[in-house]
């Protein structure tokens, strides 16, 4: 039996005894329902690779990465986390670079040319 959130294999003995199990990978609670005898309500994520490519896409296009994260979080959690992490890293780096430029502008008396203001 597999976790219905991340697809990780669960311990069958615990599920048979208690009809409840926590996933060792994502930590979410999985319950065996009354109408299921031997089957377990799950989705196995065979195509969910969580590749670095989704993280790179999210890094260079953070809005796309955020949208993919929101769309895929239930069906493909590994790929969603990759795209979301790429978008988050991009946003954090942009904020840090902006702060560095603001701080440097206070300590250096760099003035913009007059043509800039007109």
The average pLDDT across 14-32 equals 72
**pLDDT tens digits, one per residue of 29-49:** 777 665 444 444 445 555 777
What tokens does 111 get?
A: 């003035």
pLDDT, tens digit, for every residue of 65-96? 999 999 999 888 889 999 999 999 999 999 99
Written as six digits, the tokens of 81 are 């986390």
Mean pLDDT (the chain, rounded): 79
* pLDDT score for 38: 45
Alpha-carbon distance 55 to 53, whole Å?
Answer: 5
pLDDT score for 33: 60
Name residues whose C-beta falls within 8 Å of residue 86's C-beta, 6 or more positions apart in sequence: 54, 55, 56, 57, 58, 59, 60, 62, 65
pLDDT at position 116, please?
72
> What are the start-end ranges of the H helices in the chain?
12-18, 52-60, 62-72, 77-107, 114-117
Whole-number percent of the chain with pLDDT over 90: 35
CB-based contact 2:21 (threshold 8 Å): no
Q: What is the pTM of this model?
A: 0.55
What is the percentage of the chain residues whose pLDDT exceeds 70? 75
d(CA 16, CA 73): 28
Cα distances (angstroms) measured from residue 7 to each of 2, 66, 90, 92? 5, 22, 28, 30
């Amino acid at each position: 039996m597999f976790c219905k959130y991340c697809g990780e294999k669960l311990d069958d003995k615990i599920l048979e005894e208690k009809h409840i199990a926590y996933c060792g990978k994502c930590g979410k609670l999985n319950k065996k329902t009354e109408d299921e005898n031997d089957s377990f309500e799950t989705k196995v994520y065979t195509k969910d690779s969580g590749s670095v490519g989704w993280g790179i896409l999210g890094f260079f296009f953070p809005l796309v990465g955020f949208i993919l994260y929101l769309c895929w979080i239930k069906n493909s959690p590994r790929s969603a986390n990759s795209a979301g992490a790429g978008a988050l890293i991009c946003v954090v780096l942009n904020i840090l670079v902006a702060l560095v430029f603001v701080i440097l502008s206070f300590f250096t008396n760099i003035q913009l040319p007059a043509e800039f203001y007109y």
